[in-house]
Amino acid sequence: MPKQTVRDLDVKGKKVLVRVDFNVPQTKDGEVADDRRIRSALPTLQDVLDRGGSLILITHLGRPKGDPATDAPFKLDKVAAKLQELLGKPVEKADDTVGPSAQKLAAALKPGGVLVLENVRFNKGEKKGDPEFAKALAGLGDAYVNDAFGTCHRDEASMVAVPEQFAPEKRAIGFLVEKELKILDTLLKNPKHPYVAVMGGAKVSDKILVIESLLKEVDKLLVGGAMTYTFLKAQGIEIGKSRVELDKLDVAKKLLDTAGGKIVLPVDHLIADKPEAGAEVKVADGAAIPEGWFGMDIGPKTIAEYSKIVREAGTVVWNGPMGMFEVEAFAKGTRAVAEAMAESSGVTAVGGGESAESVEKFGYAEKVSHVSTGGGAFLESLEGKQFNSIKVIPDR
């Protein structure tokens, strides 16, 4: 069932608590390195402002440990400054989450005002789902909106206990979460065939459950990234010095044995004498990788094969790069998959994390159907998991 959304709330003259996911990459000096997650929340924020409401924004940043000195880089001042730049209007920033600063600024907030609370994970009650902390946080506003898909799989206070403090008619999801749920509904319930999954990244172990789930639905599952070498090793194919999960060879073999031929592995590789920029690079023309060499990307024959399959698909879901795309010499496979998805006339969904980073980097983010803002949440959704943060929002 569709969930109640921000458009269903009466926000005029109201202070709306919006849980956003502004857990953005930072530069060494703490600046926002990639503002995609902030930009993704703007439609929801602008809607509240346009209808006469004010905004109190809750987010985390990084993984604070409780030490003020080491946690300093995770303060939200520069995030708030970036939001002010993108919104084109003043944004206030509290020095705490539920303390005197937050209470004073929230109480003084006028319609059209925007307040960013300090990093919610600076409070121990957030991770514990503490009801007293949730009550104090909820007390700052008149309604609650969840627009933080990247955190939907967490049962933290701001995701579950805070909305529970509000009457059902004052809880909603934002437009970002609504869009994520709609694309997942398509992928899980009504995909157009051929349905293709592209799975990359480093570890088979991180994606066992989602691969098992997808194999029940997809027509083909294309494998790239370092997990390739675990699958090849499981078949007895030489992989040189490539990264491998030796303790997951049995798992990889079982997946191959039960996949019914759906799993497609690279037929050639781009290899290097060392896994870094400036290395000597050549193509291994075949599934095997010579002794002493590292597999770093899918090869030209595999790029051609994967690109054709993706372009001709009715539905494509992609999670995980094909190689070490951060290094230009090893980026061709990942770029080719992104380009093929952009050229496809089917539904094309990119599942967060490094895949989202790559389509942004290569300029294809606006040319695919959907780029998820949640890596872990997206994968767990594909596994079929239901989230308490979504359950707590009433159906429309």
**From CA 224, how far away is CA 227, in angstroms rounded?**
7
The answer to whether residues 323 and 291 touch, using CB atoms and an 8 Å cutoff, is no
Whether 261 is catalytic is no
Q: Is 295 marked as a binding-site residue?
A: yes
Q: Is 39 marked as a binding-site residue?
A: no
Q: Is 23 marked as a binding-site residue?
A: yes
**From CA 53, how far away is CA 51, in angstroms rounded?**
6
Whether 286 is catalytic is no
Nearest to 352 by CA among 221, 210, 139: 210
Which residue in 179, 203, 311, 361 is the catalytic one? 203
Q: Is 121 marked as a binding-site residue?
A: yes
Contact partners, residue 88, CB within 8 Å, separation at least 6: none
Which residue in 200, 333, 353, 375 is the catalytic one? 353
Instruction: Give residue for tokens 């202070």.
Output: 15
Whether 353 is catalytic is yes
Whether 376 is catalytic is yes
The answer to whether residues 316 and 344 touch, using CB atoms and an 8 Å cutoff, is yes
Q: Is 61 marked as a binding-site residue?
A: yes
Q: Is 352 marked as a binding-site residue?
A: yes
Residues in the chain: 396
Q: Is 129 marked as a binding-site residue?
A: no
Q: Is 353 marked as a binding-site residue?
A: yes
Q: What is the largest CA-CA distance in the chain?
A: 69
Q: Is 224 marked as a binding-site residue?
A: no
The answer to whether residues 299 and 287 touch, using CB atoms and an 8 Å cutoff, is no
Give the single-character DSSP code of 321. Answer: -
Q: Is 63 marked as a binding-site residue?
A: yes
Q: Is 130 marked as a binding-site residue?
A: no
Which residue in 3, 37, 233, 332 is the catalytic one? 37
Nearest to 370 by CA among 183, 189, 241: 183
Q: Is 311 marked as a binding-site residue?
A: no
Which residue in 30, 286, 314, 376 is the catalytic one? 376
**How, if at all, do strands 347-350 and 315-319 pair?**
parallel
Joined together, the tokens standing for residue 329 give: 């010499």
- Known binding residues are 21-23, 37, 60-63, 121, 154, 207, 295, 326, 352-355
- Known binding residues for ATP are 207, 295, 326, 352-355
Catalytically annotated residues = 37, 203, 353, 376
- Known binding residues for substrate are 21-23, 37, 60-63, 121, 154
